Structures are given as structure tokens and as C-alpha cells.
């Protein structure tokens, strides 16, 4: 991969895939990038994350094009295991909402976002003595 993979762009692409209404060309147009760039990200999802990308809408009318094989509510990440798809997409949405549309956050911003949110979650679940 020639360029670094940006989590914010990954998040945007995953959310668009999950909507089930976009093909590669539409995603590229909406994000203002080339189709080969989208193909590079899709290859990253497939090769590095072990994700199955399906551009068809779920026949039962449910969203969720980006999902693991045979498990509609789960993303399967190679080397890690199953991840609840809804939680992963909530993380993507929450991260992107913290920045104005004209700013493209980078991976360092993601680290700060995760640290802040993980510390909040830990304080909510910490046992009281």
C-alpha cells in the first residue's frame, strides 16, 4: 500500500457500505477520491482485516453489507476474532461526529478519541468500595 491507511476514511467507507446503497464509484464520488483508492481500502479490509465485503443489500431488508461470513451481526477480523458490528459502527459514527465535515481527522486523533472514551467507560464500570 503506497499511502497510509486513514481510520477516518475507513470509517466513512464502512458506514457507506453498511448503508447498502453505494457501489465503489458512488463511494469514490461522495468522498472525493479515485476509484482505485476505494479499491485499495476494500483490499485492506479484505486482506488485513479479513472482512467479507458484499455490495448487495440484505434480502431481509436489514442493513449490513460489511459483515463476516455467515454471521450477519458480526464483523470477523483475522487474528482478532469476532466483533459486534453495531458497536464497531457506533465507534465509527462517534469518532466522525467529533470533527467538522471540512476537517479530515488522522489516526492520532483516533488514538485520543479512543483514550478519552475508554477512560469514560472504565470509570463507569469501575467497582465502588
CA angle 36, 14, 11 (to 5 degrees): 95
Please indicate, yes or no, if residue 112 is contained in any of the structural domains: yes
Q: What residues make up the domain containing 11? A: 7-125
User: Is this prediction's pTM over 0.75?
Assistant: no
Number of structural domains the chain divides into: 1
**90 in any annotated domain:** yes
Say which residue the cell 458490528 belongs to.
Answer: 85
pLDDT digits (tens, 9 = 90+) for 53-88: 655 444 444 454 444 444 455 555 444 455 566 666
Kindly state whether residue 39 falls inside one of the protein's structural domains: yes
In a domain, 45, yes or no: yes
Domain contains 119 = yes
The mean of the pLDDT values for the chain is: 66
Say how far apart CA 22 and CA 83 lie, in whole Å: 23
Is residue 110 in a domain? yes
> 1 in a domain, yes or no?
no
pLDDT at 40 over 80: yes
| Segment 30-47 mean pLDDT | 83
Whether residue 2 lies inside any domain: the answer is no
Amino acid at each position: 500500500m503506497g499511502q497510509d491507511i486513514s481510520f477516518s476514511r475507513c470509517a466513512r467507507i464502512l458506514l457507506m457500505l453498511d448503508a447498502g446503497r453505494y457501489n465503489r464509484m458512488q463511494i469514490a464520488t461522495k468522498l472525493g477520491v479515485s476509484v482505485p483508492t476505494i479499491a485499495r481500502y476494500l483490499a485492506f479490509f479484505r486482506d488485513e482485516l479479513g472482512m467479507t465485503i458484499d455490495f448487495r443489500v440484505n434480502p431481509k431488508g436489514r442493513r449490513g453489507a460489511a459483515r463476516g461470513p455467515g454471521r450477519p451481526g458480526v464483523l470477523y477480523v483475522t487474528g482478532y476474532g469476532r466483533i459486534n458490528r453495531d458497536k464497531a459502527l457506533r465507534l465509527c459514527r462517534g469518532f466522525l461526529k467529533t470533527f467538522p465535515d471540512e476537517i479530515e481527522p488522522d489516526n492520532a486523533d483516533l488514538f485520543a478519541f479512543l483514550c478519552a472514551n475508554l477512560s469514560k467507560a472504565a470509570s463507569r464500570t469501575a467497582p465502588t468500595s
